[in-house]
Amino acid sequence: MIPVTKPFLPKIQEFGEYMSAIWERQWLTNNGPLVNELELNLKRYLDVKHLLYVANGTIALQIAIKALGLKGEIITTPFSFVATTNSIVWEGCKPVFVDIDGETFNIDPKKIEAAITPDTTGILATHVYGNPCDIDAIQEIADRYGLKVIYDAAHCFGTKYKNKSVFEYGDISTTSFHATKLFHTIEGGAVFTQCPDLLKKMALMRNFGHDGPDEFSELGINGKNCEFHAAMGLCNLKQVNEILDKRRLLSFYYWRALSNLEAKYPKLNDSLDYNYAYFPVLFNSEELMLRCLKALENEKVYCRRYFYPSLAKLPYVTATHLPVCDSISKRILCLPLYHTLTCSDLDLITRVILRVQNYDNPVNDVKQDLMMVNNNQLA
């Protein structure tokens, strides 16, 4: 069986050393030493000024909305994981969906301005598949109308925009360290801001608003994370460069192997250093995508229609017809992509897809590089 993703796991002996130390300290949660060490190491690796490690990517979004005091309407994308919309609704705000760009699959800045009303307080945009939005255009609109900007950057670990971490943009950026992500802490997430006052506010909010043993200065929530999850993050961070390199080679293999496929891929931002977080394929028709999906499942290869359906179709939001998103969400398929995939796995996946379309296009010229990575780095 080939699943759509697998979590990277470090050597159990290395993880066990962290576990033994936790047992000795008996400090399991509440801002323990491993949480602090992970935050410091992440800031160094990502070259960011500020971050807070939190329980998951969803609570990161909720804290961001609350910290910025957003009310009323928040303009957002219909093409994202459901947590993006859920966080808006959960915080008592109304998601206002704007259609996406047909090339990048990110929210279309040209359509944002028409959606702004007197009740609009913010924009929550997703960098889909780790590909940054048109950050400059979104910020120009936000500045002109006095709106706050939150980026759901759940897919963006290791991504850079204009030579700095994509997490440095917006009033607040959030990310996920869930087990399915290329860097994970089993469960986890983070919030990022360049504003020290916002950082302090969110630090209090993630721990019930505690400002001392008997003092509360903010409305807070239990957004903390624990020593066990931080230990996994510390182990995995040591391997993240190798993981990124492997995913890059796998992605290039796919692109070359599927060059004759009746499909296209997201247009990457010109100012991007990409992290190869996913391998999405936009088929020319839903019918071809479904036939490929079925053929792959017959071979026990499991892909994901990510994202489907459009979030504007959720039962607890105002239904919105967005033609670009509606079309793309029906035709998109994410192929398996993770560090232990082999040449044989990719040969099987691509041959099945091409066979459905009556093509065969081997890619022996990149196979040698990929085999070297399999043998020497992450095998």
Phi, psi of 155 (to 5 degrees): -100, 10
Contact (CB, 8 A) for 379 and 243: no
- Asked if 78 contacts 100 with a C-beta cutoff of 8 angstroms, the reply is yes
Q: What stretch(es) of the chain map to CATH 3.90.1150.10? A: 240-378
- Fold classification of 12-237 (topology level): Aspartate Aminotransferase; domain 2 (3.40.640)
CATH entry 3.90.1150.10 includes domain 240-378 = yes
- Per-residue pLDDT reduced to its tens digit, 288-306: 999 999 999 999 999 999 9
Tell me which residue has tokens 């919309």. 85
Is the pTM of the predicted complex or chain greater than 0.85? yes
- Tell me: pLDDT of 246 over 90: yes
* Tens digit of each residue's pLDDT (9 = 90 or more) over 62-88: 999 999 999 999 999 999 999 999 999
For the segment 332-357, what is each residue's pLDDT rounded down to a tens digit? 999 999 999 998 999 999 999 999 98
Measured CA angle at 187 (ends 67, 129), to 5 deg: 75
CATH 3.40.640.10 boundaries in the chain: 12-237
pLDDT surpasses 50 at 147: yes
* pLDDT one-digit tens code per residue, 9-53: 999 999 999 999 999 999 999 999 999 999 999 999 999 999 999
Average pLDDT estimate for 218-232: 96
Please list the alpha-helical segments (H only) found in 68-195: 82-90, 135-145
Mean pLDDT of the chain: 94
Residue environment code for 306-316, b if the CB has 16+ CB neighbours within 10 A, otherwise e: bbeebbbbbee
Q: In angstroms, what CA-CA distances link 247 with 252, 306, 311? A: 9, 18, 28
